[in-house]
């Protein structure tokens, strides 16, 4: 073994140890890996740049950017509100169906992030009994198509690097659906083992918000529970004002009527969940000022507006702004926003007009604290374009009429043109850490091959694999990847294991496709550890789960999933 091969192997081993045994970010580990490989002259800058333009990586980045635009639509938010029912069985299957099916086409991490809020806030079932199943459903759904999870696209990029045409859109579907449905039923049988624990306390400041029920509202004539108003993420319906009468507390069977004013308490950054309800208009929205930038101010202790209501002041004309929400520390406030008497120290969240900064009465009445960013509500035609355009893009890719990356480039450009997304949003959501992980992993694989380590491994394996059955080889690759993914995250596991799976395939003269699929499925099968997959980490952080909660539920799921995938891959390809 040459010095170059030893150096590459040491860097490879150090990468695995750093990922598994330290708290360093994977992006930092792989960045250091690339620098070391360049230093020992086993990697060239040109090769890094070539990996940076890998088709699979470009496709993944475009998918993630597009998913942020889709998350602005009412689609996922409406699904989230409809999940929880009185029956736990109905709630479980609704949650599983929504998470599983959505994750097959959209980024499964984004799906879980969107649905955590409604599940955490529900008042019917302990969130801890639904959050682990939510994550598992998203993981299972992500393995059904090529674009369901970033892991599939990473392995696809490796296939293309090795001269293979790559995965077809539905290459995962038969195996993913079979394992997914079987695990769904087992997961439901295991739900009695899920803990009943309280959620973490939210650390946001609670504001009072008002929304008017318009004549065309979809809420009219239905109860609070039927309208799913108790399942809005981080927003709580605390009062209904009807004909100047304050109705509190709000019960689930209260029926919503036209012209009701709904008073919410909660996180102002979640008010887009109100905006997506048809016929429900925010207090500031009627003035035409509500946008994605809000200004937070405090009423000065010498302000002339103290002890006056917004209505009396003519607030909109006086300050060229409208009050979106009010917060009063140390005191509970209730009633319509327009009739609340302002006090010194009140926090107001303002939607401001173009003339707000030039008004000379601003500093006399307010201390400007900060700006708040909220998600801007899309117009109906923008929502329709976003959803239909995405489905058309996926359909063209699935039928091989247009490469997925090409379709996503044009779709992302069109979203920017119609102002669904902006250049600043694209910059903000660019997944730099994920790009570094994938480019670093591809570069490490390049160095392993260029230095001859893969060829050396292939030669060393020949005596060992002569009598090895394809089923045993497939199981070995799968289990090694599965073990790695529980310790070093799914994307890193896929990237690190593929080169050695490829070497085994060459040694045994076997088809590459089943082994590539085995790496992809195993890298996504992180059910036992809360740290191996992003969706597990999201739900782990959302409530007071313990490590053993994942082990207890995830171990039987992992065993069933792995058995089905390995046996079906062997049956289908050998």
State whether 303 and 347 are in the same domain.
Answer: yes
How far is Cα 340 from Cα 118, in angstroms, rounded to an integer?
A: 30
Q: What pLDDT is attached to residue 517?
A: 96
Lowest mean pLDDT among 18-22, 148-152, 283-287, 391-395: 283-287
Q: Tell me, yes or no, whether 500 lies in a domain.
A: no
Full domain range(s) for residue 315: 293-373
Last residue of a domain, one of 247, 266, 285: 266
- Is residue 360's pLDDT more than 80? yes
Q: Tell me, yes or no, whether 423 lies in a domain.
A: no
State whether 251 and 298 are in the same domain.
Answer: no
Lowest mean pLDDT among 174-183, 331-340, 426-435: 331-340
How far is Cα 211 from Cα 362, in angstroms, rounded to an integer?
A: 26
Q: Tell me, yes or no, whether 244 lies in a domain.
A: yes
- The residues facing 297 across adjacent strands are 348, 368
User: What does residue 326 show for φ and ψ, rounded to 5 degrees?
Assistant: -130, 140
Q: Tell me, yes or no, whether 313 lies in a domain.
A: yes
Percent of the chain with pLDDT over 90: 22
- Is residue 26's pLDDT more than 90? no
Query: 271 pLDDT band (50/70/90 cuts)?
Result: confident
Which residues, in sequence order, are CB contacts of 201 under 8 Å at separation 6+? none
Average pLDDT over residues 101-130: 82
Average pLDDT over residues 197-217: 74
Structure token pair of residue 187: 């997961």
* Cα Rg of the chain, angstroms: 27
Q: Tell me, yes or no, whether 359 lies in a domain.
A: yes
Which residues, in sequence order, are CB contacts of 445 under 8 Å at separation 6+? 158, 161, 495, 498, 499
How far is Cα 402 from Cα 452, in angstroms, rounded to an integer?
A: 37
Lowest mean pLDDT among 223-237, 465-479, 550-564: 223-237
Lowest mean pLDDT among 327-341, 389-403, 544-558: 327-341
State whether 319 and 365 are in the same domain.
Answer: yes
Q: What pLDDT is attached to residue 455?
A: 75
What pTM did the predictor assign? 0.72
- The residues facing 372 across adjacent strands are 294
How far is Cα 297 from Cα 261, in angstroms, rounded to an integer?
A: 24
Q: Tell me, yes or no, whether 352 lies in a domain.
A: yes
State whether 304 and 369 are in the same domain.
Answer: yes
How far is Cα 85 from Cα 91, in angstroms, rounded to an integer?
A: 5
Which residues, in sequence order, are CB contacts of 33 under 8 Å at separation 6+? 11, 14, 15, 440, 443, 444
Average pLDDT over residues 352-376: 76
- Is residue 174's pLDDT more than 60? yes
The answer to whether 482 and 533 have CB atoms below 8 angstroms apart is no
Model confidence pLDDT, tens digit, residues 446-500: 888 788 877 777 677 667 666 788 899 899 899 989 988 877 677 778 877 888 8
DSSP letter for each residue of 165-228: ----TTTTHHHHHHHHHHHHHHHHHHGGGS---PBPPP-SPPEEEEEEE-TT-TTTTSBTTTTT
Structure token pair of residue 161: 């690097």
Q: What pLDDT is attached to residue 180?
A: 95
State whether 320 and 359 are in the same domain.
Answer: yes
Model confidence pLDDT, tens digit, residues 494-515: 877 888 888 888 888 889 999 9
Query: 284 pLDDT band (50/70/90 cuts)?
Result: low
Q: What pLDDT is attached to residue 438?
A: 77
Last residue of a domain, one of 373, 391, 419: 373
- Is residue 121's pLDDT more than 90? no
Q: What pLDDT is attached to residue 143?
A: 92
Helix boundaries (H) for 127-234: 128-142, 150-161, 173-190
Best-predicted range by mean pLDDT (32-36, 179-183, 388-392): 179-183
Average pLDDT over residues 135-142: 94
Q: Tell me, yes or no, whether 93 lies in a domain.
A: no
3-state secondary structure of 539: helix
- Is residue 69's pLDDT more than 90? no
- Is residue 292's pLDDT more than 60? no
Structure token pair of residue 328: 């009063």
Q: What pLDDT is attached to residue 527?
A: 93
Cis peptide before 23 (omega within 30 of 0): no
List own/partner pairs for 394-402 with CB under 8 A and 24 or more apart.
Answer: 394/105, 394/147, 397/169, 398/169, 398/170, 400/168, 400/169
- Is residue 192's pLDDT more than 70? yes
Mean pLDDT value across the chain: 84
Cis peptide before 249 (omega within 30 of 0): yes
- Is residue 331's pLDDT more than 70? no
Task: Mark residue 88 as left, alpha or beta (left: phi above 0; alpha: psi -120 to 50; beta: remaining).
Answer: alpha
How far is Cα 58 from Cα 147, in angstroms, rounded to an integer?
A: 12
Q: What pLDDT is attached to residue 139?
A: 94
State whether 251 and 312 are in the same domain.
Answer: no
Structure token pair of residue 114: 């969107």
Q: What pLDDT is attached to residue 432?
A: 84
Q: What pLDDT is attached to residue 286?
A: 56
Number of domains within the chain: 2
- Is residue 291's pLDDT more than 60? no
Q: Tell me, yes or no, whether 335 lies in a domain.
A: yes
Q: What pLDDT is attached to residue 92?
A: 95
Q: What pLDDT is attached to residue 204?
A: 60
322: CATH: 3.30.70.1450
State whether 297 and 367 are in the same domain.
Answer: yes
How far is Cα 295 from Cα 275, in angstroms, rounded to an integer?
A: 19
Pairing mode, strands 261-266 and 235-242: antiparallel
Lowest mean pLDDT among 106-120, 181-195, 258-272, 364-378: 364-378
Task: Provide the 10 A C-beta neighbour count for residue 407.
Answer: 21
Lowest mean pLDDT among 4-18, 171-185, 321-335: 321-335
Last residue of a domain, one of 373, 388, 404: 373
Query: 136 pLDDT band (50/70/90 cuts)?
Result: very high
């Amino acid at each position: 073994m040459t010095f170059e091969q030893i150096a590459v192997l040491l860097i490879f081993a150090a990468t695995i140890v750093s990922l598994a045994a330290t708290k360093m970010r994977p992006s930092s580990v792989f960045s250091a890996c690339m620098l070391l490989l360049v230093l020992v002259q086993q990697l060239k800058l040109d090769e890094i740049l070539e990996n940076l333009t890998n088709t699979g990586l470009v496709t993944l980045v475009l998918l993630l950017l597009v998913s942020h635009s889709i998350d602005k639509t009412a689609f996922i938010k409406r699904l989230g509100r409809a999940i929880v029912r009185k029956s736990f069985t109905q709630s479980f299957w609704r949650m599983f169906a929504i998470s599983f099916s959505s994750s097959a086409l959209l980024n499964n991490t984004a799906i879980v992030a969107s649905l955590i809020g409604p599940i955490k806030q529900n008042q019917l079932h302990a969130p801890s009994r639904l959050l682990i199943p939510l994550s598992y459903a998203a993981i299972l759904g992500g393995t059904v198509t090529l674009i369901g999870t970033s892991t599939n696209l990473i392995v696809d990029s490796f296939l293309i690097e090795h001269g293979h045409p790559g995965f077809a859109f539905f290459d995962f579907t038969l195996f993913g659906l079979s394992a997914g449905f079987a695990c769904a039923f087992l997961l439901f049988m295991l739900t009695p083992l899920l803990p009943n624990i309280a959620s973490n306390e939210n650390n946001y400041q609670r504001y009072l918000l008002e929304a008017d029920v318009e004549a065309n509202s979809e809420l009219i004539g239905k109860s609070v529970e039927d309208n799913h108003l108790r399942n809005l993420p981080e927003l709580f319906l605390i009062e209904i004002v009807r004909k100047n009468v304050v109705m509190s507390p709000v019960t689930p069977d209260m029926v919503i009527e036209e012209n009701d004013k709904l008073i919410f308490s909660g996180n102002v950054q979640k008010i887009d969940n109100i905006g997506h309800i048809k016929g429900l208009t925010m207090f500031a929205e009627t003035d035409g000022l509500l946008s994605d930038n809000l200004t937070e101010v405090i009423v000065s202790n010498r302000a002339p507006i103290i002890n006056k209501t917004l209505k009396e002041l003519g607030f909109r004309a006086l300050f060229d702004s409208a009050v979106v929400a009010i917060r009063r520390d140390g005191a509970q406030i209730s009633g319509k926003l327009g009739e609340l008497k302002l006090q010194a120290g009140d926090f107001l969240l303002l939607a401001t007009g173009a003339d707000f900064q030039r008004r000379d009465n601003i500093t006399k009445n307010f201390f400007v604290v900060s700006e708040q960013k909220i998600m801007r509500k899309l117009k109906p035609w923008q929502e329709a374009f976003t959803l239909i355009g995405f489905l058309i893009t996926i359909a063209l890719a699935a039928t091989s009429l247009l490469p997925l990356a090409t379709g996503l480039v044009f779709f992302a450009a069109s979203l920017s043109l119609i102002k669904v997304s902006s250049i600043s949003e694209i910059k903000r959501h660019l997944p730099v850490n994920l790009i570094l992980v994938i480019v670093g992993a591809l570069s490490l694989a390049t160095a392993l091959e260029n230095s001859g380590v893969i060829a050396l491994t292939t030669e060393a394996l020949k005596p060992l694999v002569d009598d090895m059955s394809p089923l045993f080889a497939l199981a070995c690759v799968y289990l090694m990847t599965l073990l790695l993914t529980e310790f070093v995250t799914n994307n890193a596991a896929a990237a690190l294991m593929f080169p050695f799976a490829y070497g085994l395939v060459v040694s045994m003269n076997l088809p590459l496709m089943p082994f590539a699929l085995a790496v992809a499925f195993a890298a996504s099968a992180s059910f036992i550890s809360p740290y191996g997959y992003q969706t597990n980490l999201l739900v782990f952080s959302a409530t007071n789960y313990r490590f053993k909660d994942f082990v207890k539920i995830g171990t039987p799921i992992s065993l069933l999933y792995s058995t089905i995938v390995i046996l079906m891959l062997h049956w289908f390809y050998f």
